[in-house]
Amino acid sequence: MSLFSWLFGSKPKSDPEPVDHHDYRIYVEPQSEQGGYRVAARIEKDIGGVTKTHQMIRADKCQSMEEAEETSLLKAKMLIDQQGESIFG
């Protein structure tokens, strides 16, 4: 922990809990931007003993964090259903 974190009480950011979808793990990670939150998520799947990762970032912006989280999860599921493992290549 850095001195500033200790002094000002900030905590390190932890990974969100993953949502399982067809053997994929979806980590909903909207990005704060001016005027709202950008739709984003990290998608992971273990293939052949190796964890593959795809960072999904969309142009969509939402006004609230809750809406951005819901939209990010929906878009990540759609991406998995439409493209499957090809998202890693």
pLDDT value, residue 16: 76
Q: Quick one: pLDDT at residue 10? A: 47
Give the 3-state secondary structure of residue 9: coil
CATH number of 14-88: 3.30.160.350
Which region holds residue 23: left if phi is over 0, alpha if psi is between -120 and 50, else beta?
left
11 has a pLDDT exceeding 60 = no
Sorted by where each begins, the domain ranges of the chain are 14-88
Convert the pLDDT of each residue in 24-79 to its tens digit.
999 999 999 999 999 999 999 999 999 999 999 999 999 999 999 999 999 999 99
Q: What is the mean pLDDT of residues 14-26?
A: 91
